[in-house]
Structure 1
Amino acid sequence: MADPEIRDDREKGRLEAYVDGMFAGHVAYFTLDFDPAALVPVHTIVEPMFEGKGVASSLVRSFYAMAAREGVPVVPLCPYAAKWAQRHPDEAPVPPAELVQEAERQLTRHPGL
């Protein structure tokens, strides 16, 4: 399978993957309203026909690369993204505890994020 094409839809809070023009999955995220700001992935979802083909990993790797380009940390509240970060510490710096706490607070206050 070819590497997925990754598209950021910041307005919708979705980093989307496409394989051969077909939607393959996405990372749902929000931008932490805090100083410093951060990007917070909350769900990684892959379409059934693309499961087990590296789409989720490509999405999360791209998410971390996007955050690095923007100079902001990632607070992985998504279980898949958190596990991926543990396996790839060279690509996924651990966020400060205060950012994690604030991201959890914002998600609790606004569960639709």
Structure 2
Amino acid sequence: MEPRITDRPERSRYEIVVDADAGGDATETAGFAEYHLSEGEIAFIHTEIDPRFGGRGLGGLLARGALDDARDRGLRVLPYCPFIRGWIGKHPAYADLVPPERRARFGL
């Protein structure tokens, strides 16, 4: 199974879930992106990938999935998290999610 990104609003975070075993019978949360949601804005505050899953590109998949969901929901993005901010900087097609008047604050 491919990694999947799920919004967990009860935990205020997006999670990336991967197969825990070769047979694909169990899954495990490999990482998460914490956020604060308020009045049409989603502020990303912390992103973390479990070191056991490092080097697989899961952080980028998580960022893309979370930002795609924010776009689909019409949310403005405030990338306080350095990882999310850096990812947007490397993928300028996502910079439009950050309100124009706040981009300079985030170096975008």
TM-score range, shorter chain: 0.7 to 0.9
- In the TM superposition, residue 11 of structure 1 has moved relative to its aligned partner by 1.9
Aligned-residue Cα RMSD (Å) equals: 2.0
Say which structure is richer in strand. Answer: 2
- Which of 57, 60, 65 pairs up with 2:63? 60
SS state at 2:78 partner: coil
Once the two structures are superposed, residues 41-83 of structure 1 have per-residue CA deviations (whole angstroms, 9 ceiling, x without a partner) of 1111000111111111111101110111101111100000000
Partner of 1:106: none
- In the TM superposition, residue 32 of structure 1 has moved relative to its aligned partner by 2.7
- Which of 97, 101, 104 pairs up with 1:97? 101
Count the aligned residue pairs: 97
Residue identity (%): 33
Q: Tell me whether 1:29 sits opposite 2:35 in the alignment.
A: yes
Q: Which of structure 1's runs of 4+ aligned residues deviate more than 6 A?
A: none
| Unaligned runs of at least 5 residues, structure 2 | 20-26
What is the TM-score of this pair, normalised by structure 1? 0.77
Amino acid corresponding to residue 42 of structure 1 in structure 2: I
Amino acid corresponding to residue 77 of structure 2 in structure 1: V
- In the TM superposition, residue 5 of structure 1 has moved relative to its aligned partner by 1.1
- Which of 39, 43, 56 pairs up with 1:40? 43
| Unaligned runs of at least 5 residues, structure 1 | 102-113
Larger deviation: 87-96 or 9-18? 87-96
SS state at 2:16 partner: strand
